[in-house]
């Protein structure tokens, strides 16, 4: 058979129709929700004492169960806080990567969580503020200032991944050095904040969850509203304007969303890194660059990582525990090094 005949007989598989892609993505999202539910059960089941699924259920619904107090006062608040903080950090990372077109963008790596931490530490040490309702406003202010500062120092609309990473790394190091310095200057604050500064869910309670939830819910709504405009902005400012988007407004919305999500999450459990970096990269091969799909996937799978890391820390550190911020840093470090190597 001639080469021409061979080439004629070859068939190129047609691209899957939009309906098939949509069905596949919906199926994947349902699977992700099942995985999230399983991880949440593990989050409630693991601790100083392992609880089986039956014991977890009894502890949830039966006030007379010997496991009721364990579940409702210790395990459930911790797991729920991991859920909402995971959603916040994952969405913040995804929209930051989309806005800056920087695959290295992450609230922890760019110093945003450090800004919130520095503001909270200052409020605790210098003003004596020790309640969430008091220092959450400082966390939001610190996150907002650093978000705008990193974006401006990195070059704004002309920012490159390398410049943003360098600007974020410099601010990150400076702010964490500041936090360490003021904690050492006030020894009474060291014990109170030593777990919080590495990122921990150990002190979770329903009071904190009730206070942090409105901020994170507002941030989630703003982030989801940015999905379609950010898709347009990825084509460039001129193309986005031609499509009816307003680039300036989009950037303000993203800064507002990141401020709410990162400020509230950091105030609740301290700075946690790599969640906003890992999950968007993991889901992008399945969702493509379309944020209308990427953001829901990220919102579901980010808590899987955070709660799963918390469970892993309790298992590996038994009878104590490894703080969740330490576990996510260990898991995310190798991926970050890889992304630095391949980033343009």
- What pLDDT is stored for residue 186 in this prediction? 67
Would you say residue 246 has pLDDT above 90?
no
Higher pLDDT, 50 or 82: 82
pTM: 0.86
- What pLDDT is stored for residue 8 in this prediction? 39
Measuring CA to CA, how many Å separate 267 from each of 75, 131, 262, 287, 330? Answer: 20, 10, 8, 31, 22
Confirm if 308 and 79 have CB atoms less than 8 A apart: no
**What does the alpha-carbon distance between residue 112 and residue 125 come to, in Å, rounded to a whole number?**
20
- What pLDDT is stored for residue 164 in this prediction? 75
- What pLDDT is stored for residue 13 in this prediction? 42
Q: Mean pLDDT of all residues in the chain?
A: 83
- What pLDDT is stored for residue 222 in this prediction? 96
Would you say residue 337 has pLDDT above 80?
no
Token couple for 112? 């945003």
Would you say residue 7 has pLDDT above 50?
no
Mean per-residue pLDDT, 81-85? 95
**What does the alpha-carbon distance between residue 335 and residue 249 come to, in Å, rounded to a whole number?**
32
- What pLDDT is stored for residue 3 in this prediction? 44
pLDDT tens sequence across 88-112: 999 999 998 898 887 777 887 788 8
Lowest model confidence (mean pLDDT) among 104-113, 181-190, 247-256, 306-315: 181-190
Confirm if 94 and 220 have CB atoms less than 8 A apart: no
What are the chain's domains? 91-273 (1.10.3470.10)
Percent of the chain with pLDDT over 90: 28
Measuring CA to CA, how many Å separate 74 from each of 34, 46, 315? Answer: 23, 11, 16
Confirm if 302 and 86 have CB atoms less than 8 A apart: yes
């Amino acid at each position: 058979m001639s080469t021409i005949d061979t080439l004629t007989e070859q068939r190129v598989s047609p691209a899957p129709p939009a309906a098939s892609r949509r069905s596949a993505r919906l199926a994947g999202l349902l699977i992700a929700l099942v995985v999230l539910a399983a991880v949440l059960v593990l989050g409630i089941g693991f601790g100083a004492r392992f609880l089986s699924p039956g014991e977890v259920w009894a502890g949830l619904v039966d006030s007379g169960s010997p496991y009721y107090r364990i579940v409702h006062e210790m395990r459930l608040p911790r797991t729920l806080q991991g859920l909402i903080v995971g959603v916040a950090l994952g969405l913040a990372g995804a929209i930051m990567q989309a806005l800056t077109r920087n695959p290295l963008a992450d609230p922890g790596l760019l110093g945003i969580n450090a800004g919130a931490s520095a503001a909270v530490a200052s409020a605790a040490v210098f003003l004596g503020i020790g309640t969430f309702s008091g220092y959450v406003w400082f966390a939001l202010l610190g996150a907002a200032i650093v978000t705008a500062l990193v974006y401006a120092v990195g070059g704004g609309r002309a920012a490159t991944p390398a410049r943003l990473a360098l600007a974020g790394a410099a601010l990150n190091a400076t702010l964490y050095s500041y936090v360490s310095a003021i904690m050492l200057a006030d020894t009474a604050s060291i014990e109170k904040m030593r777990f919080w500064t590495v990122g921990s869910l150990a002190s979770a309670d329903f009071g904190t969850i009730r206070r942090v939830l409105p901020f994170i819910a507002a941030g989630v709504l703003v982030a989801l509203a940015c999905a379609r405009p950010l898709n347009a902005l990825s084509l460039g400012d001129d193309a986005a304007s031609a499509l009816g988007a307003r680039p300036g407004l989009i950037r303000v919305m993203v800064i507002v969303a990141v401020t709410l999500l990162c400020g509230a999450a950091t105030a609740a459990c301290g700075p946690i890194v790599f969640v906003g970096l890992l999950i968007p990269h993991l889901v992008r091969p399945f969702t493509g660059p379309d944020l209308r799909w990427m953001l829901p996937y990220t919102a579901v799978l980010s808590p899987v990582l955070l709660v799963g890391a918390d469970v892993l820390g309790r298992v590996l550190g038994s009878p104590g525990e490894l703080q969740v911020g330490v576990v996510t840093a260990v898991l995310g470090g190798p991926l970050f090094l890889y992304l630095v190597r391949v980033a343009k």
